[in-house]
Amino acid sequence: MKKLIIVLLNLTFFIPSLLAGNAPKVKSKTEKITVAAYYFPNYHTNDPRNIINKGEDWSEWELVKAAKPRFPGHDQPKVPLWGYTDEKDPKVMTQKIEAAAKYGVDCFIFDWYRYDDGPFLNRCIDEGFLKAKNAHKIMFAFMWANHDWLDIHPYTKGAAQKLLYGGKVSPQGFEKIGDELIQKYFSQPNYWKIDGKPYFSVYDIQKFMEGFGSLEATKAAMDRLNQKAIAAGFKGIHWNLVPWGRPILPVEKVPANIPELIKKLGFSSATSYVWVHHVGLPDRQTDFNQVRDQYFQYWDKAKAEYPVPYYPNVSMGWDPSPRCDIKSEWGNFGYPFTNTIGNNTPQNFRTALQMTKDKLLADPNGPRIMNINCWNEWTEGSYLEPDVKNKFGYLEAVKSVFK
Average pLDDT over residues 301-318: 98
| pLDDT at position 16 over 60 | no
Average pLDDT over residues 346-361: 98
Report pLDDT digits (tens) over 89-124: 999 999 999 999 999 999 999 999 999 999 999 999
Report pLDDT digits (tens) over 57-72: 999 999 999 999 999 9
Report pLDDT digits (tens) over 110-160: 999 999 999 999 999 999 999 999 999 999 999 999 999 999 999 999 999
Of all residues in the chain, the percent with pLDDT exceeding 70 is 93
Average pLDDT over residues 182-205: 98
The whole-number pLDDT of residue 246 equals: 86
| pLDDT at position 17 over 70 | no
Q: How confident is the model at residue 26 (pLDDT cuts 50, 70, 90)?
A: very low
| pLDDT at position 235 over 60 | yes
8 A C-beta contact, residue 248 and residue 274: yes
Q: Is 14 helix (H, G, I), strand (E, B) or coil?
A: helix
Q: How confident is the model at residue 30 (pLDDT cuts 50, 70, 90)?
A: low
Task: Give pTM, 2 decimals.
Answer: 0.92
Closest CA to 169 of 149, 192, 193: 149
Q: How confident is the model at residue 21 (pLDDT cuts 50, 70, 90)?
A: very low
Half-sphere exposure of 281 (CA within 13 A, CB side): 26
Q: Read off the amino acid at residue 127.
A: E
**What residues contact 85, with CB distance under 8 A and at least 6 apart?**
43, 92, 95
| pLDDT at position 343 over 80 | yes
Dmax over CA atoms of the chain, in Å, equals 90
**Fold of the CATH domain 33-402:** TIM Barrel (3.20.20)
Question: What values do phi and psi take at 321, rounded to 5?
Answer: -60, -30
The whole-number pLDDT of residue 388 equals: 98
Domain-wise residue ranges, the chain: 33-402
Render the burial of 157-187: b for 16+ CB within 10 Å, e for the rest.
eeeeeeeebbbbbeeebbeebbeebbeebbe
Average pLDDT over residues 313-318: 98
Following DSSP, what letter does each residue of 195-246 receive, concatenated? Answer: TTEEEEEES-HHHHHHHHSSHHHHHHHHHHHHHHHHHTTSS--EEEE---SS
Share the mean pLDDT of the chain.
92
In this structure, what DSSP letter does residue 126 have? I
Residue 362: CB atoms within 10 Å: 8
Please give the angle made by the CA atoms of 266, 252 and 34, to the nearest 5 degrees.
50
Q: How confident is the model at residue 47 (pLDDT cuts 50, 70, 90)?
A: very high
Give the helix/strand (H/E) hosting 144.
strand 139-144
Alpha-carbon gap, residue 32 to 260, rounded angstroms: 31
The count of residues in the chain is 403
